[in-house]
Amino acid sequence: MIRPRRGDGQDRQDDKTRLHRHSRNAPITLGNAIGYGIGDIFGGGQLTLIGTYLVLFWTRFCGMSISLAQSVVGLSAIISGVAALSFGILGDNLYRFPIGRHFGRRHFFLMLVPPLILVGILLWIPGLPFVVYFLVYVLWVTVAQLFASAYNTLPGEMAYGFDDRTKLSTVRLLISGASGTLILLIGGGTLSVFGEHRPAGYMMFTIAITICFALAVFICWKSTWEMTPEEAGFGRYVNDAAGKAKVESHLSVRAEVKLWRHRLAVMFREYASTLRIAIFRRHLALYLLMLTAGDVFGQTFVFFVIYDWNKSAAFASLLLSSGIITVPLNPLFGATMIKVGPKRMYQASFAASLIGLAWIFAAWRLVGVIAEPWWTVFAVAGALFFFIAKAPSGYLPWAVFPFIADVDQVVSGRYRASTFTGIQAGLRQLTSGLSSIVVGAILGFVGFDSSRRVQSVLAGNGLGALMIGWYALSVVICIVVARRFNLDKRTDGIALAESARVASGGDPRSVDSSVRVTLEDLTGQPYGR
């Protein structure tokens, strides 16, 4: 048994004050939203930094082949996906333990992230042993999952209403998009000045940005809040006479093994139960397909511009940074989602994305066919159209996610946002890792070698077909899935109202028939029968 510390009651009050500085029912101000959104300078920015430059840096300056570099990225992602599953369950249940009640179940994770981020500086130093790059990258992506498991739950922790959560997600994505674009602008400008065939330029801006990532997460940690243990359903641990969960000691080895087997079984049952929620399955399909397609596009676009468009890496960076024109559109996306719902936005974005891909393909086929100035105008216009077209499909998964747990709460009676984050992150890393390995294998098979100034016809065609074809196929599948994505402001309100009614003693069997139809469509399960 663990003895209670003196002054435990006061400590519990201090914890409550620390964790509940604001009410979930209080309006979210712009300052609150900015404090939250700054965290995604790391969450979104690190994806831009890694996806655009890391493989290029490793293959040019660290002695790796394209297939080896992609395999490291892929295998590390799979490892971090397994870690993400643990973070999800642990994050939701951290209030069971004194450390969670003291620091917060979300903020304890956020507190650990900034110093760990700084280890990533080693990724951008040439000449280190291969095993160092591998281990540091595994740590990097695992830390990113640790951050995401806490950060993605904060809109639901900080606010209750649909509009306030949408405001948090919109500002977050606005900041994330701006930071990602700024990284590309800085990268393109630095490479233009220092040259893209020397490591110094890469090292200067990547190390500086890594330090900025750590500062951003620190600011987010200081600026956000979460539910109290009582609000999250863990009040009994706070009200325990010792203020702590009781822990058995001196267990036998057999009993210890049995205990951990039980915990693993519970963890897998929890994750499996999330996949019973129909709207979450649809959300996962859209999320995984589009983000994995974005990974492949990001990993190959710079090579595509260099070898299929015959332009420089600096030009590719500046072209990617032109996506900044989509950043001011995020508030419009938020307002549109509230008004018309995600389904119509998804459908419009997917249709326009196919047009954009066709435009990029046409620019590829017209290289050397039309005059250079006109070709440049045509290619840049096509890229800009594509970035604008795909922007809503990048915004929506993050804006929609905070409402998934509302639907689940109707079925489970618990708010399990971190569990949903864990399974989503785990699957995301699995698909991202496998796609990276597949990309490396395909490029290796067609003979692509980034150390060469000129590629073979087969390598060039394989690169372009991979980048454009993967994204196009993903979009076509998503068009079909989005037809049944019926989660919006109205249906989320229905789910919240029903959860509140049942929590107040209402009988699920007395639910209104129209409400039952909506809930059964969202959950995919019979309700109140």
pTM reported for the whole predicted model: 0.68
Q: 394, 345 in Cβ contact below 8 A?
A: no
What is the full per-residue pLDDT of the chain (529 aa) written as tens digits? 222 333 334 343 444 434 444 555 567 788 888 888 888 888 778 877 887 778 777 887 887 887 788 788 778 877 877 777 777 667 667 777 777 777 777 888 888 889 998 988 888 888 888 888 889 888 888 888 888 888 877 887 777 777 787 788 888 878 887 887 788 778 777 777 777 777 778 888 888 888 999 999 899 888 888 877 766 666 666 665 344 444 444 445 566 556 656 666 766 787 788 888 999 999 999 999 998 998 889 888 888 888 888 888 778 877 877 777 777 777 788 788 888 889 999 999 999 999 999 999 999 999 888 888 899 899 889 989 999 999 898 889 888 888 888 888 888 877 777 778 778 877 887 787 788 788 888 888 888 876 677 778 888 889 999 999 999 999 999 999 999 999 988 998 898 888 888 888 888 888 888 888 999 999 988 887 7
Listed residue (386, 19, 10, 488) closest to 225, CA to CA: 19
CA torsion 3→91→103→156, rounded to 10°? -130
Q: What is the pLDDT of residue 11?
A: 40
Nearest to 168 by CA among 180, 177, 156, 150: 156
Residues 6 or more apart whose CB falls under 8 angstroms from that of 428 comprise 81, 84, 287, 288, 291, 292
CA distances (Å), 448 to each of 63, 368, 470, in order?
15, 22, 17
Q: Enumerate domains of the chain plus CATH numbers.
A: 16-234+276-503 (1.20.1250.20)
Looking at residue 201, what is its pLDDT?
80
The conformational region for residue 315 under phi > 0 = left, psi -120 to 50 = alpha, else beta, is: alpha
**pLDDT value at position 68?**
83
- SS3 for 28? coil
- Per-residue pLDDT at 26: 65
What's the CA gap between 268 and 350, in Å, rounded? 34
Distance CA 437, CA 147 (A): 24
- Write down the pLDDT at residue 293: 93
Please state, in angstroms and as integers, the Cα–Cα distance from residue 150 to each residue in 226, 402, 527, following that order.
10, 12, 31
- Note the pLDDT tens digit of each residue in 386-437: 999 998 988 898 888 888 888 888 888 777 777 787 788 778 877 877 887 8
- Number of C-beta neighbours around residue 263 at 10 A: 11
